[in-house]
Amino acid sequence: MDLTFQYKNLRWPWLILLALLLLFGIYLIWKKRTLRKTGELRLLQLLTASYSPTRFYLKYFLLFLAITVGILAAMNPGKISGQEKQQRKGIDLTIALDVSKSMLAADISPSRLEKAKQFISKLIDVMPDDRIALVLFAGKAYMQMPLTTDHGAAKLFVSAAGPEAIPGQGTVISEAMDMASRAFSSGEKRFKSILLISDGEDHDPDAGKKAKELASQGVMLITIGVGSAEGSVIPDPLTGLDKKDASGNTIISKLNEDLLKELATTTNGLYLNLQGTEPAVNAVKSQLSQIEKKAFSDQSQLQFQGFFIWLAAAMLLLLLVEPFVKGKRRVLA
């Protein structure tokens, strides 16, 4: 197999080597000029009889080589083994899942969040050739998983998603869309879609503006509304009691369909009210089929065998040997 580097973009440490070469050259020039000004050549030879230029250069070479090997270790060269790259043809889909506490409401059985998880899991099963990323959001949005064809890992992340994953509460849909769009390659304007699943409860004034930006980038936004217009109480996951506002009134969380419909329309996408998972999966799959597919290399079955440990050991050995190389030699009386 051909040798490759795990961290190919780690180039700045090579500037250290250039700086060392430059400083060494300046030192040699300074040393030569200083010796010329010091005194007679014969006297200098007697005073420096124990000095060994060969050992001096060897010490510098060992240090220079140790740093070089250390930089190579940081870049982690290695070889790829396993199955050959597979060419797949699919789309890139980022799933943005609302995990705010309002998603714990049970106006949809077993709860809004659990219903959304069931839907996502079934959707992943019918998208074997597509790359999927996952964003979780509430008061903040976080990239939980970048684009990957490892759908098993994607389903694990989805199953573990919950309000505890996000420290702040709320529903920042604009930030969720922004984070979701970062999963895509900036150089392409096709093959991309965002699936946003939320109850849309908190009105986000920046959401409409962000949807227009996504539309200009060629991103299709599919919004899935979870909940009911009548709404439901929000159970506290710690106490099991219904959540109340500052005045002591029971909070009723309602689905904000208008916002989610507006966002989908802006990007020529699709809005669905999540009732049954099977019809929703079929509708989303049909909508996504309108996006032209691209071919990409799937490296999920490949294994990378790096040589970091060997290079690190070589660097350590060189650093240990260097102090034992003395700059002076024995002079016989």
Q: What is the per-residue pLDDT for 107?
A: 87
What pLDDT score was predicted for residue 44?
57
**Distance (Å, rounded) from C-alpha 5 to C-alpha 71?**
12
Structure confidence at residue 80 (pLDDT): 65
The pTM score is 0.62
Q: What is residue 281's predicted lDDT score, i.e. its pLDDT?
A: 94
Three-state secondary structure readout of 227-292: CCCCCEECECCCCCCECECCCCCECEECCCHHHHHHHHHHCCCEEEECCCHHHHHHHHHHHHCCCC
Domain boundaries, the chain: 3-82+302-324, 86-297
CATH superfamily name and code, 86-297: von Willebrand factor, type A domain (3.40.50.410)
What six digits make up the tokens of 26? 């300046």
Cα–Cα dist 194/188, whole Å: 15
Q: 72-75 long-range CB contacts below 8 Å, 24 or more apart?
A: 72/311, 73/307, 73/308, 73/311, 73/312, 73/315, 74/7, 74/10, 74/13, 75/5, 75/6, 75/7, 75/8, 75/10
HEC assignment per residue over 33-84: HHHHHHCCHHHHHHHCCCECHHHHHHHHHHHHHHHHHHHHHHHCEEEEEECC
CA-closest candidate to residue 163, choices 188, 142, 138: 138
Per the structure block, which two tokens stand in for 181? 């769009």
pLDDT in tens, the chain (333 residues): 567 776 766 777 888 888 888 888 898 888 777 766 665 556 555 555 565 677 778 888 888 899 899 888 888 888 766 555 555 567 889 999 999 888 898 888 899 999 999 999 999 999 888 889 999 998 889 999 988 888 988 999 999 998 887 877 777 889 999 999 988 876 665 668 899 999 887 667 788 889 999 888 888 899 999 998 888 888 877 777 888 877 778 888 888 888 899 999 998 899 999 988 999 999 999 998 887 665 554 444 445 677 888 888 999 998 898 888 775 655 444
Closest CA to 129 of 152, 146, 149: 149
pLDDT for position 45: 57
Q: Which residue shows structure tokens 């049954």?
A: 276
Q: Which amino acid is residue 260, in one-letter code?
A: L
Q: What do you get for the CA distance between the two ends of the chain, in Å? A: 58
* The residue type at 201: E
- CA atoms 265, 266, 268, 272: torsion sign: negative
Q: Give Cβ neighbours of residue 272 (< 8 Å, ≥ 6 apart).
A: 222, 223, 224, 225, 280, 283, 284
**pLDDT score for 316:** 92
